[in-house]
Structure 1
């Protein structure tokens, strides 16, 4: 039997591989055995990086939230107002399209109250609050707007992933119409 090739194993390499499994086969297929097989290592080697399957799922959720944040932040650079909200919205939906399993993993952290998970999620909330500053929302009203926007984007992404938009209409155009209606309603 030939020896296994040495793989430089760091947490990022492991999480990228886990994200690929999630995107190709669904987040439930991200197991220690499947990940070890993909990385061509033995499963016990993964315990050097996290504590079992729940540790892997937590790290994958944190990684996914970080990747989502980067995509959203990039989309928001250099634009403001309606253009920024639309750019952020399109980037969110596109992330869910390109990385359906990784996106799902962001929602399935074993303990959503975990401090590290909360910190990564909070960065996305803070970014969204900054994008919405153009609408002069303050306090609870600003948080309600963030929740509303997230609900729209998650609902749209979830429906699309489950085949809910089969009509011969451009889904991106639908998204923009929905976001414009949301923005028009924020003034009320």
Structure 2
């Protein structure tokens, strides 16, 4: 395939597909050039370098993630919204592993203003949690809890980290249900932890 018809949009789309195939960390200008059957130099009229390519892929990744989550939670609230959000998150992580990794990329410097998809992702997450009556700083703490849980579970699952006989889907459903219960009974900032609730001698 010659260089005719190459555009930044086409290169970014191909880069996103390549990320799912070989891993986001392995996406390079050289690898992308081989995919199109052209020399590396042919792509530098569209891309500055590998970092530029990865940043563009990351933006596409966040856009797709935001679209999936937004569609899933539309018209839902409370537990239904949490379950829909969680399922959409996990599905994206498992179905598009390269793009999911790209969503974790720290873009520095962040464009001003940030791409709309970044803002939408934040709004969707915080909006879902506000339905539980959370305000700052509890809101941010809850966001970090959910992100850590979803990321950890999805990453372990993708890497074959769950080897017990227990069905993974069943564990996922119980995990999300437990998060719902916790969010409904969130310990507000400044609330003292009951004495004896976490004994240093207790196995947890």
Unaligned runs of 5+ in 2: 187-204
The aligned counterpart of 1:114 is 110
Equivalent residues in 2 for 1:51-70 (5 A)?
51-70=48-67
1:1-188 map, 5 Å: 4-5=1-2, 7-109=4-106, 111-115=107-111, 119=115, 120-186=117-183, 187-188=185-186
Instruction: Give the distance between the partners of 1:6 and 1:44, measured in 2 at CA.
Output: 10
Distance 1:47-1:153 versus aligned 2 partners, 3 A rule: same
How far is 1:152 from its partner?
Answer: 0.7
Shift in Å, 1:14: 1.5
> What is the rounded CA distance, in whole Å, between the counterparts of 2:135 and 2:113 in structure 1?
25
User: Does the CA-based 8 Å contact 2:2-2:36 persist in structure 1?
Assistant: no
- 2:194 is matched with none
Instruction: Give the secondary structure class of the aligned counterpart of 1:135.
Output: coil
Is the CA contact (8 Å cut-off) linking 1:62 and 1:116 kept in structure 2? Answer: no
1:73 to 1:32, Cα distance in 2 relative to 1, 3 A: same
Which residue in the other structure is 2:199 paired with? none
Kept after mapping to 2: 8 A contact 1:68/1:95: yes
CA RMSD of aligned residues (A): 2.1
When the two structures are aligned, how many residues end up with a matched partner? 184
5+ unaligned residues in a row in structure 1: which ranges? none
Q: Determine which structure has greater relative contact order: mean sequence separation of CA pairs < 8 Å that are 6+ residues apart, divided by chain length.
A: 1
Separation in structure 2 between the aligned mates of residue 95 and residue 20 of structure 1, nearest angstrom:
14
* TM-fit CA distance, 1:48: 2.9
For 2:166, what is the secondary structure of its paired residue? Answer: coil
Whichever of the two has the greater Rg, that structure is 2
